[in-house]
Structure 1
Amino acid sequence: MTQEKSVLIVSDRPERAKLLARAITTIMPCRCLTGDQPLPDILPVVAVFDVDAREGAAAAWTARLGIMRVPCLVLTDVPADIGTRASPALRIVPADTPRPTILSLVFSLIDAGLKLPAYCDGETVTVQGKAQRACAAVADMFHAAQSDRPISAEEVDAGTDVVLEAVSEAGIRAWLDTIGRYDEQLYQHSLSVAGFAAAFAFDLKLPRADRKRLAKAALLHDVGKARIPRSILNKPGSLTPAEMAIMRTHAAIGADLLARQDGFDPGMLFVVRHHHEMLDGSGYPSGLSGDAIPDLVRLLTICDVHSALTERRAYREPLPHAEAHAIMLGMAGRLDMALLRAFLPIVRQSTPDDAVV
């Protein structure tokens, strides 16, 4: 995507949007869309949202545009539903804010938007573009699940394809570096696990269909977390037993959400439901063990655990990849050790050049 010097207004109040656009066009061209229209191919300098936050449109749009470094102004009476971490490029104000105040905020965001650095050229642009496309698919998936709308199997397929392409072309390290800049940890984790899954599948020389199944399962595996309270997801400390019990429902919730619609085969649903099972029966939700856990689940579990250990969380710093792998080697009996040893090349590829694995 390229960027044009214009302001985008997304609104379900056409007359109000028209008045706001008329004032903004005194300094910059303005375009108006409704909340159900797609993101334009050419990015604006600033986006303004004046839609019902309960429909999830503002949250989905700001998640996408925030990743693409587009400053956003959201007019809403339910700011908690936006679900985006505080950022200097995101302003949330009451929907009844006087128009002169709104204009002042828009003009200040225009100044900020014009000063933001452009994306790098060459290979990084390719990786960033693919990461943005994949993250858009993940954002849509989570917001659909949160608002009880159908999840688009076609959109998930498209997101899976671009993850596979990006990791194949640029490698897992470039992929992790790119998505590591994103603020939304829930999306970042899904993209990280999908990247590890794609790299692992390539290294194992799995057939194309199996590579896609594994990467797609990785994108979908945590969709049930869309129904877990953010106070639990983002808690900066240990969860209480009651909170942990709620957190552990996400796997079954995700599988049940997908089972209620077409486009997701039983094998995919099994992975989503059982990606926290352990070979010794200590996992959840069903306490499966041994041969009851198929290879696709075992592969994804390794990618999921490694990703979780090497990501920054509210309660700890990320672990180095070598340290994470060492911890996982200590999980003999719970993880498939043969597959974990086969994962070592991916650990090495993920590690900065000056580190030793």
Structure 2
Amino acid sequence: MWLARNIRESGLPCLYLARGNAAKDAAAVALLGTPTVVDPRRPAGIVPTLQRLVAVGRGARGGLHEAGGGPPAVRVERATALVTHLFDKAAAGRPPSPDEAEEGTRIVLDTVSEIGIRAWLDLVWRHDIQVYQHSLSVAGFAAAFAAELGFSRGDRQRLAKAALLHDVGKALIPHAILNKPGPLTPDEMAVMRTHAALGADLLAKEDAFGSDILDVVRYHHERLDGSGYPEGLTAERIGDLVRLVAICDVHSALTERRVYRPPLSAAEAAAIMEAQAGPLDPDLLRVYRPIIARAGGAAGGPSVLG
């Protein structure tokens, strides 16, 4: 018991190897606090998980993240570790830590400002974990978008944080659906679409996340023409922050590697997004177009926009 208490109080990351007994595993997780759970029957995932926990541990001991310094690659390692921890907590039914969300957002804003969106994406995509990559990619696009719009630091922080958290509900979607290497069936799609409401309801348990953040998490798949989900909202009911993150989310999805298709080029992504002007905010899309050009293919596609 004293060891478990010391682990909880240290703030250091903890790895727990599941034993396949649901009751014992749940008891161990509750005792340890919020450990990262690894299934030893899937050994391929243990090494990258350990690498991410080492990055978190360095930060918890007062390392590079306190000064906000270090090479960009190290900062991306830290951001990936933070997002991993946010999703691990969400998978256990606990809202993400506001402090970790703030730290992750600062890393995104500062690093994208320093090295640009394309270099940020290149570093993020070194980590082969799609749901976390997507969150960091969308947050990077949001940081670049906020700068393009001339937002204040506070508004940039708010937008990037909403983008970082927008898909947290996917931590509660079954892995068989989330990681399916191909199109989803209608029933699977119905389950997938619950992630927006699940994420918002989870964040609502933590008072530090304001209503604007919750709206982004719940409504980032809504469209101005009423064709989106979960509520089929139309333009007058969709806020500006939601509209901004929706554009970043679509761009990221189009230009990411997927097991069933290669990433789209900048020109292909721009053409698809401009065809969606109407469902997506057309005025904001016009402002966003230079970001598509600068980002190019997020996973290594052509970087020149025709």
Q: 1:295 and 1:230, CA in 2 relative to 1: closer, same or farther beyond 3 A?
A: same
Tell me how far apart the structure 2 counterparts of residues 218 and 284 of structure 1 sit (CA, whole Å).
Answer: 17
Structure 2: segments with no counterpart, 5+ residues:
20-24, 51-68
Which one has the bigger helix percentage?
A: 2
**Cα–Cα, structure 1 residues 13 and 217, in superposed 2: closer, same or farther, change >3 Å?**
same
Which of 191, 201, 214 is equivalent to 1:269? 214
**Residues 108, 143 of structure 2: 8 Å contact kept:** yes
Deviations 1:145-194 (A, max 9, x none): 10123421111011101100000011001100000111110000000000
Which structure carries more relative contact order (alpha carbon 8 Å, separation 6+)?
2
Of 250, 256, 270, 2:195 maps to 250
Amino acid at match of 1:79: P
SS in 2 for 1:319: coil
Does residue 57 (structure 1) correspond to residue 18 (structure 2)? The answer is no
User: Taking structure 1 as reference, are residues 279 and 180 closer, same or farther at Cα in structure 2, changes over 3 Å only?
Assistant: same
| 1:53-91 deviation line (CA, Å, top 9, x unaligned) | 7436244xxxxxxxxxxxxxx7xxx436x7x8x369469
Tell me the SS of whatever aligns to 1:79. coil
Root-mean-square deviation over aligned CA pairs? 2.7
CA contact under 8 A between 1:126 and 1:166: conserved in structure 2? no
- Aligned mates of 2:271, 2:252 — CA distance in 1: 14
Q: Contact between 2:266 and 2:303, CA under 8 Å: does it hold in 1?
A: no
The TM-score with structure 1 as length reference comes to: 0.69
- Structure ID, larger Rg: 1
Could you say if the C-alpha distance between residues 90 and 310 of structure 1 is closer, same or farther in structure 2, counting changes exceeding 3 Å? closer
Contact 1:225 1:250 in 2 (8 A): yes
Task: Give the equivalent residue in structure 2 for 1:349.
Answer: 294
Give the distance between the partners of 2:49 and 2:280, measured in 1 at CA: 44
Counting matched residue pairs gives 270
Distance 1:158 1:283, change over 3 A: same
TM-score, normalising length: structure 2: 0.80
- Paired residue for 2:168? 223
> What secondary structure sits across from 2:106 in the alignment?
helix
In the TM superposition, residue 36 of structure 1 has moved relative to its aligned partner by 6.8
- Any stretches of 5+ residues in structure 1 without a counterpart? 1-11, 15-32, 41-47, 60-73, 93-123
d(CA) in 2 for partners of 1:150 and 1:88? 24
Partner of 1:79: 40
Deviations 1:115-164 (A, max 9, x none): xxxxxxxxx96211221222122111101010123421111011101100
Select 2:84's aligned residue among 117, 139, 150: 139
Q: 1:173 aligns with which of 86, 93, 118?
A: 118
**Preserved contact between residue 51 and residue 57 of structure 1 (Cα < 8 Å):** no
1:3 is matched with: none
Q: What letter is aligned with 2:195?
A: H
Identical aligned pairs, as a percentage? 54
| Match in the other structure for 1:303 | 248
